[in-house]
Amino acid sequence: MSILVLGGAGYIGSCAALGLRRRGYDVIVADNMEKGHKSAVPQGVPLFVGDVRDFDFMSALFEENKIDAVMDFAAYSLVGESVAQPAQYYDNNVYGMLCLLRAMMLSGVDKIVFSSSAAVYGEPEDALVAEDAPKLPKSPYGETKLVIENMLKYFGAAYGIRSACLRYFNAAGAMGGLGEDHKPETHLIPIVLRAAMTESAVTLNGDDYDTPDGTCVRDYVHVEDLAEGHILALERLKEAPGAHVWNVGSGRGASILEILEAARRVTGARIKTKTGPRRPGDPSRLVADVSKIRGELGFAAKRADIEDIIESAWRFLRDKPNGYCG
Ligand code: UFG
């Protein structure tokens, strides 16, 4: 089976491409390289540079390559940035998906695994958030993911598109020499590890949330587990038509202060902190109820220990202190 990985030069996309290759799938990557890194594309995987919103590029891609299914990672994904720049998020994420679906339908490709997000839930009421919890996104980013999930549901009913929306919680860690390298970096774990390396201070984005220690609680899921979740979802689409939705997380929460403590144990560094204001759009707590994906796909996070996740990210940073370009 041959898979088009859109956004496969980025963090999660490149790890999914590697996971697919390890499982014997044929893979091609397309990426507009706005945020991607050429050297993150696994060896032997062809890279096509172009944008999902470019119809000529996309139709040529589908015409000239054998593609049985798509994994789509090509989206903007920063909660805070989406609050400041909603137009960019609707354009790249929602319009981009419309372009992709049109190109898929023209070429008869009917299977897509989509990177959705726990951001669709907004501020959940329950300690563990299940797929049927209310969807009340707190940011334009989360809204775009919800719009796309609904598009996929309607395109499934009308045009037979089979879809799996994976609502990621917080992807973290590194696999096979691939890891997080964003510029600027906004994600907690790489920021904390860089602070350990450079002795700079980490800003806590608010310490007055209604959580046990006042800092936000998240469910960190190892990117290698996330990649496996994609493959399980893809395999299910082969036999199951329709639009499916699964949470992908570890099912465990860690606060920002707990991440800092774990990072201190892993790195041996002191890691200073200072308290800043809350970041717009941040929910206080997002932890996955993983019973649906466990029951339906047999998925369980194998690398759920937060120190193991941080350790793998630390190895990546020490190996590539200047990122892929360095
Ligand atoms: N944080 C800090 N200081 C920093 C960086 C982050 O306090 O320097 C805080 C954030 O405010 C947040 C927590 O650490 O409370 C985690 O922040 P990240 O930026 O690492 O991750 P987010 O939870 O904001 O977002 C991630 C993905 C989104 C996804 C979301 C779902 O980037 O795509 O998880 O939980 F929607």
CA–centroid distance, 256 to ligand 1, in Å, is: 9
Q: Whose alpha carbon is nearest atom 12 of ligand 1?
A: 216
Task: Show the ligand 1 pocket: residues with CB < 6 angstroms.
Answer: 77, 79, 117-119, 169-170, 186-188, 191, 202-205, 216, 218, 256, 279, 282, 286
Q: Whose alpha carbon is nearest atom 5 of ligand 1?
A: 188
pTM of the predicted protein model: 0.96
CA–centroid distance, 167 to ligand 1, in Å, is: 15
Mutate to test the pocket of ligand 1, among 135, 216, 218 (most ligand atoms within 8 A of CB): 218
| The pLDDT of residue 280 | 84
Active site residue 25: no
For 275-301, write each residue's pLDDT tens digit: 999 998 888 999 999 999 999 999 999
CA–centroid distance, 189 to ligand 1, in Å, is: 9
- Residue in this structure with the two tokens 């990426």, named with its chain if needed: 31
CA–centroid distance, 141 to ligand 1, in Å, is: 13
Among residues 141, 168, 209, 220, the one annotated as catalytic is: 141
Ligand 1: nearest atom to the Cα of 78: 32
Which positions of the chain have pLDDT values less than 70?
A: none
| The pLDDT of residue 154 | 98
| The pLDDT of residue 137 | 95
CA–CA distances in Å: residue 302 to residues 152, 221, 226, 250, 312: 29, 9, 10, 8, 14
| The pLDDT of residue 319 | 96
Ligand 1: nearest atom to the Cα of 279: 11
The Cα–Cα gap between 95 and 102 comes to: 11
For 105-158, write each residue's pLDDT tens digit: 999 999 999 999 999 999 898 989 999 999 999 899 999 999 999 999 999 999
| The pLDDT of residue 282 | 87
Ligand 1: nearest atom to the Cα of 141: 36
| The pLDDT of residue 66 | 97
CA–centroid distance, 249 to ligand 1, in Å, is: 14
Mutate to test the pocket of ligand 1, among 279, 284, 285, 287 (most ligand atoms within 8 A of CB): 279
